[in-house]
Copies of this chain bind each other. A is one copy, B any other.
Amino acid sequence: MSRTILLLPGDGIGPEIVAEAEKILHKVNETFSLDLHFESALVGGAAIDETDTPLPDETLDKARKADAILLGAVGGPKWDKRPMASRPEKGLLGLRSNLELFANLRPAILYPQLASASSLKPEVVSGLDIMIVRELTGGIYFGQPRGVRELENGERQGYNTYAYTESEIRRIGRVAFEAAQQRGKKLCSVDKANVLEVTVLWREIMEDLRREYPDVELSHMYVDNAAMQLVRAPKQFDVIVTGNMFGDILSDEAAMLTGSIGMLPSASLNSEKQGMYEPCHGSAPDIAGQGIANPLATILSVAMMLRYSLGEDKAAGAIEAAVSKVLDQGLRTADIMSAEGRKVSTREMGDAVLAAL
């Protein structure tokens, strides 16, 4: 069964890290006879520069047809002064919403080989393994009405709308309960139900779902407390489920607990398991083009793609094992470099994973 993978290198370090991930994809395609076919397209700032829009129709067409998408990263200072509607980020947000990629899975895992990279004490984070399930196509990111209006007194007011329907909450809730069933069977739903009506409904629907998943232990936490608890005792969490905005904040906080955001992949799935895969980190314009970015988050995103969208668990496992092996060998890009490590470039890291495969 032939399947199509769309590569979207994007901006900043995107092209460099996607190039390494591509080598890995070609390799597993061969070794495991996956019959994968590759396309590529423009998105974000790269698309703006060529076509004046962050998400060209051609890109969206190819994305719809692909079985899975690998994205590098979008954005950078070059496009930061553009109006909101035509910024690189709109390319990313447009893909998410047009493909209905509502379920964003963001693991925060501490690799034992990199334990010392964390700014937290080893005993607080060793063995950390959290899965954050973030709703990705609703909430305040897409809520209407939005904009800037002039009030009667002549001053301007900016406004956005934070909204969720029952069905939006229910479908992300199911993804999270199912993820918890596959893991430690603990789910923490994060909201601000003591202040925001929209999250009162969120909490109610999560409570409703509890009955369908009696083997999962559901708890609720206010978002301010969750931000604290992630710092205080992150290992208390197994799976966290939350809305788009809180998920944006908490998943980045959780990722940073590991000290190696250059290691963390992510998946964004729709209800047909079609998915977009990307590293948790951004486009890092400050180090773009220098060949020093860490390609491992993107390579591990390929592993997630194989597992979640293509059902190729074996190939996924092989990639994860290869990554672990190069870490054992002491190879380190600059971002995860430590006293005992051997510093390598983006390409050397990619080649090492390839060799370990």
Query: Could you list which residues of chain A lie within 8 angstroms of chain B, going by C-beta atoms?
Result: 75, 84, 87, 89, 93, 119-121, 124, 140-141, 143, 146-148, 151, 155-167, 192, 194-202, 223-225, 227-233, 245-246, 248-253, 255-257, 259, 261
Take A119-B233, A227-B250, A231-B256 as given contacts and tell me if A143 and B155 are in contact as well, using a CB distance cutoff of 8 Å: no
The reply to whether B119 and A232 contact each other, CB–CB distance below 8 Å, is yes
User: Provided the pairs A231-B253, A261-B228 are in contact, do residues A161 and B158 lie with their beta carbons within 8 angstroms?
Assistant: no
In the complex, A192→B93 CA distance in Å? 14
Chain B residues with CB under 8 Å of A232's CB are: 119, 256, 259
Majority SS at the chain A contact face? helix
A-B contacts, 8 of them at CB < 8 A, read A84-B200, A119-B231, A141-B195, A148-B198, A151-B165, A158-B202, A227-B256, A246-B249
What residues of B have a CB within 8 angstroms of the CB of A200 in the complex? 84, 148, 158
CB pair B199–A158 under 8 Å, yes or no, is yes
Given A84-B200, A120-B120, A224-B248: A162 and B148 interface contact (C-beta under 8 Å): no
Would you list the 6 A-B pairs with minimal beta carbon distance, nearest first? A158-B201, A158-B198, A159-B163, A227-B253, A228-B256, A224-B252
Stoichiometry (number of copies): 2
Q: What residues of chain B lie closer than 8 Å to A167, measured between beta carbons?
A: 155
Question: Given A157-B164, A158-B197, A197-B159: A252 and B225 within 8 A (CB)?
Answer: yes
A163: chain B residues at CB < 8 Å are 157-160
- With A89-B194, A156-B165 already in contact, the answer to whether A228 and B201 are too (CB < 8 A) is no
The reply to whether A162 and B140 contact each other, CB–CB distance below 8 Å, is yes
B contact residues around A259 at 8 Å (CB): 232
Give the chain B neighbours of A198 by CB distance below 8 A: 146, 148, 158-160
On chain B, the residues within 8 Å of A197 by CB distance are 84, 146-148, 158-160
By a CB distance below 8 angstroms, the chain B residues around A121 are 119-121
Complexed CA–CA distance, A143 and B151 (Å) = 15
Give the docked Cα–Cα distance between A250 and B245 (Å): 13
What is the CA–CA distance of A3 and B356 in the complex, to the nearest angstrom?
Answer: 74
Give me 17 other A-B pairs in contact (C-beta within 8 A), A155-B167, A158-B197, A160-B162 excluded. A84-B194, A119-B121, A119-B124, A119-B232, A140-B196, A146-B197, A148-B200, A156-B166, A156-B201, A158-B164, A158-B198, A158-B200, A159-B163, A159-B197, A223-B249, A224-B249, A232-B256
